[in-house]
């Protein structure tokens, strides 16, 4: 009996130490994001990110969404490989593109490229409902499992071609694309509500890419602002990279 109690105590202590380590790593990640926001302010127009954005990143346990065995590096401010030639985005980029949507709470958001599920979880902290599409089945199914295990009931996922959006759930208050398209998919503009915002990286695979912020006005017209030079994996599917 004493041995069992001792084992349980040791296990609990190991879990607490690991959790403390993650908390410290998340705090360091937040400091690095804040520093990068200041450094890129001239380009992005955002010298500091909102409390809501940073609080969401602090809440989401990124170590749940990285590749197995990569948990110790989960909070480094770098992209991480997650298999199938894909990556989980750099935390600063996750914060920036989340910030650009200016979510106030209650919105319906579309994400193209579920990937690991991390960005969807961050959006789930800020929006009412998040619809997320992943074209790579093995990644989409794993992300769905991770999001469910982490308790994100307001994130709805499916396997499919995100280039065509999600017509049944449209229109959306905001749309985020997490892979680089050669051009902005017309379907996404159509499915964006008037007054809505679309954040998307556009450019050639391995070449020059820019993160764009597109605002749709009440009359259906769009205004596009180039935010930052970036490097993303290509958007695949009809109209994207093959």
Catalytic (active site) residue 89: yes
Region of 231 on the Ramachandran plot (φ > 0 left; ψ -120 to 50 alpha; else beta): beta
User: Which tokens go with 61?
Assistant: 């346990």
Neighbours of 208 (CB within 10 A): 10
CA 228 to CA 213: how far, in whole Å? Answer: 10
For residue 118, give the H/E element and its range: helix 118-126
Task: Find where tokens 């804040």 sit.
Answer: 34
Which of 21, 50, 89, 115 is flagged as catalytic? 89
CB atoms within 10 A of CB 7: 10
List residues bridging with 83 in a β-sheet: 86
- By annotation, the residues acting in catalysis are 89
């Amino acid at each position: 009996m004493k041995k069992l109690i001792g084992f349980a105590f040791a296990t609990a202590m190991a879990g607490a130490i690991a959790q403390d380590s993650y908390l410290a790593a998340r705090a360091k990640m937040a400091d690095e994001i804040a520093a990068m926001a200041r450094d890129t302010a001239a380009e992005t127009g955002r010298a500091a990110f909102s409390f809501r954005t940073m609080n969401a990143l602090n809440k989401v346990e990124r170590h749940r969404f990285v590749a197995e065995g990569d948990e110790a590096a989960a909070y480094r401010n770098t992209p991480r490989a997650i298999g199938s030639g894909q990556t989980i985005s750099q935390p600063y980029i996750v914060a920036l593109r989340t910030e650009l949507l200016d979510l106030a709470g209650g919105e319906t958001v579309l994400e193209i490229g579920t990937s690991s599920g991390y960005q969807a979880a961050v959006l789930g902290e800020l929006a009412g409902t998040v619809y997320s599409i992943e074209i790579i089945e093995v990644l989409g199914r794993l992300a769905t499992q991770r999001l469910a295990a982490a308790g994100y009931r307001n994130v709805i996922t499916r396997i499919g071609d995100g280039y065509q959006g999600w017509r049944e759930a449209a229109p959306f208050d905001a749309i985020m694309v997490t892979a680089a398209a050669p051009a902005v998919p017309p379907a996404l503009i159509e499915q964006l509500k008037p007054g809505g915002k679309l954040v998307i990286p556009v450019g050639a695979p391995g070449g020059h890419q820019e993160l764009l912020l597109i605002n749709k006005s009440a009359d259906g017209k769009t205004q596009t602002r180039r935010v930052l030079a970036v490097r993303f994996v290509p958007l695949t599917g009809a109209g994207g990279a093959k």
